[in-house]
Amino acid sequence: MNERNSKPAVVLLSGGVDSATTLAIAVHQGYRCHALTFDYGQRHRFEISAAKKVAHALGIVNHRIVKIDLTGAAGFGKSALTDQIDVPKDRRSLQLGRSLLEDAPGGTSGEIPITYVPARNTIFLSFALAFSEVVGAFDIFIGVNIVDFSGYPDCRGEYIEAFERLANLATAAAITGKGKFRIHAPLLKMSKGEIIRKGLSLGVDFSLTHSCYDPAPNGDACGKCDACRIRLAGFAQAGVEDPIRYRSR
Amino acid sequence: MNERNSKPAVVLLSGGVDSATTLAIAVHQGYRCHALTFDYGQRHRFEISAAKKVAHALGIVNHRIVKIDLTGAAGFGKSALTDQIDVPKDRRSLQLGRSLLEDAPGGTSGEIPITYVPARNTIFLSFALAFSEVVGAFDIFIGVNIVDFSGYPDCRGEYIEAFERLANLATAAAITGKGKFRIHAPLLKMSKGEIIRKGLSLGVDFSLTHSCYDPAPNGDACGKCDACRIRLAGFAQAGVEDPIRYRSR
């Protein structure tokens, strides 16, 4: 671990491959990490316990679970991740071949998948910003990347830059001048294979992570939703076996 | 009511003078308004029931109360509005004389008051953005103004512009091109007196509103916190009597 830096940072941690690697990167860079996970009514709640295991394995002392309700019952929703809408399986327009196997970031066909949760990353980053103000951090880490973009607008570089700009106008430090927020998206331009290799090099135990949008009651991944397919293609690309269990392959 | 426009809009409604007037303006402009109020652990919870009364009086059909926890117990907080910190009374640096009585917007001394809730408007606007995506609105109204700024960074015009920019990158419409978000802050440059006159001209019943940060158990306003003092000076400026009850004056 690199001890050059002992500044606090807030890291968004979903419990998936990307956020686990992002947290490991922040720890490796020497930040004192505060992890933030959202219990937002997602159907794949296994990711919350995965996030706890990942945070514990990486020695994170302050891990907060923030409870919000983004389901249809609360007036939000309209997503297969939060409501009784089927999670798409074997989606044709998920262009795995191009974006992953050729190592060329670029996402998919421009459609918005039904798994999109309205303004989710904006809500998550807003809470991360509030949390940063409380713990005195100016560095926020988020594990977005263009491959995992898969049609989500709030995973793009220009979006992250716009949030950083907002953060520096929104907060007490904008008035007091005591610091400048930086939104770190270290995975932004990495392929899933590169992310997995990076995580492994930093000691991430991917058996603790969870990606599937539609797991079996025992937590086994479906292997067919976008999240599973991007994950599996990433492990194939990295040349290592995915250590989690799948229901059907 | 102006019926030119029947587009949906989302309006942030706290139950105070500003948000009530903002909602009345949006209604008057003919928007089909969806109001959003936050139960965020504020000590002055009277504002939630005030918001319900205001929404009902203005005929708003869809009024959602979003429950989030911004208190210290949840890892947030550090504010006199959410935690066991005394609400400042008769604060000297609240420059009422200059900013209100001379009708010159400008806020206060540059300090951040202890009533600042970290990143609150960013969190509120993020939920408003999600809610807008769900109801198909591209217009979001927020009742910030520079007088009520009183040192809050997230009440400034440049902040609102930055959020609008973010909104147009963050959402499904950024990909599909189906619309462009606009954050309306119609009170931004109005003095409190002008806001009150505007509200009265649109039929707002200010007896239903609530502003005090530290009300008595029966809901009576303290008359001494920043919110009460700005409100009282505004009514004095408008030349009308404030219809709510005060504990001590």
**pLDDT, tens only, B86-111:** 888 887 667 664 444 333 333 444 56
Q: Which residues, at least 6 apart from A84, have a Cβ–Cβ distance to it below 8 Å?
A: none
Starting at the earlier edge strand, list the strands of the sheet with A182-184: A62-67, A32-39, A8-12, A139-141, A182-184
What are the backbone dihedrals phi and psi of residue B40, each rounded to the nearest 5 degrees, phi first? -110, 15
For the record, the structure tokens of A202 come out as 């930093």
Quote the minimal CA–CA distance from A38 to chain B in Å.
12
Quote the minimal CA–CA distance from A89 to chain B in Å.
21
Beta-bridge partner residues of B67 = B39
d(CA B101, CA B97): 5
For chain B, list residues with pLDDT below 50.
Answer: 1-3, 97-109
- What ipTM, to 2 d.p.? 0.88
Report how far apart, in Å, the C-alpha atoms of B15 and of each of A138, B12, B70, B91, B92 are: 32, 9, 18, 23, 26
By C-alpha distance, the chain A residue nearest B118 is A130
Q: Which residues of A are less than 8 Å from B131 in CB distance? A: 75-76, 118
The shortest CB-CB distance from B166 to any of A127, A133, A163 is to: A163
Q: Which residues of B are less than 8 Å from A8 in CB distance? A: none
Q: Is B76 in contact with A134 (Cβ distance < 8 A)?
A: yes
| Angle between helices B192-201 and B17-28 in degrees, nearest 10 | 50
Q: Which residues of A are less than 8 Å from B154 in CB distance? A: 169-171
Q: Which residues of A are less than 8 Å from B64 in CB distance? A: 74-75
pLDDT score at B152: 77
d(CA A1, CA A8): 15
Q: Is A122 in contact with B120 (Cβ distance < 8 A)?
A: no
For the record, the structure tokens of A246 come out as 């799948």
The shortest CB-CB distance from A153 to any of B67, B74, B170 is to: B170
Q: Is B110 in contact with A169 (Cβ distance < 8 A)?
A: no
CA atoms in the 13 A half-sphere facing the CB of A23? 33
* CA A125 to chain CA mean position, Å: 11
Q: Does residue B137 contact residue B26 with C-beta atoms inside 8 Å?
A: no
Contacts across the A-B interface (CB distance below 8 Å)? 150
d(CA B157, CA B189): 9
CATH dotted code for B8-238: 3.40.50.620
d(CA B73, CA A33): 19
Q: Which residues of B are less than 8 Å from A156 in CB distance? A: 169
pTM (2 d.p.): 0.90
pLDDT score at B96: 63
B contact test, residue of A127, A144, A160 with most B CBs within 10 A: A127
- Look at the block and give the residue holding tokens 């919870």: B45
Q: Does residue A47 contact residue A14 with C-beta atoms inside 8 Å?
A: yes
Quote the minimal CA–CA distance from A155 to chain B in Å.
8
The shortest CB-CB distance from B162 to any of A64, A68, A169 is to: A169
Q: Which residues of B are less than 8 Å from A68 in CB distance? A: 68
Of A237, A222, A160, the closest CA to residue A191 belongs to A237
Q: Is B176 in contact with A121 (Cβ distance < 8 A)?
A: no
Q: Which residues of B are less than 8 Å from A174 in CB distance? A: 153, 159
pLDDT score at B248: 64
- The ranges assigned to domains in chain A are 8-238
Q: Is B75 in contact with A159 (Cβ distance < 8 A)?
A: no
d(CA A226, CA A224): 7
By C-alpha distance, the chain A residue nearest B72 is A134
**With the C-alpha atoms ordered B117, B119, B121, B123, is the resulting torsion angle positive or negative?**
negative
pLDDT, tens digit only, all 249 positions of chain A: 444 558 999 999 999 999 999 999 999 999 999 999 999 888 778 899 999 999 999 999 899 999 998 888 888 877 788 878 788 888 766 766 444 433 333 344 456 778 778 889 999 999 999 999 999 999 999 999 877 555 678 888 899 999 999 999 998 888 788 899 999 999 999 999 999 999 999 999 999 999 999 999 898 999 999 889 999 999 999 999 999 999 865
Q: Is B169 in contact with A159 (Cβ distance < 8 A)?
A: yes
The shortest CB-CB distance from A76 to any of B70, B134, B167 is to: B134
pLDDT score at A103: 34
pLDDT score at A111: 67
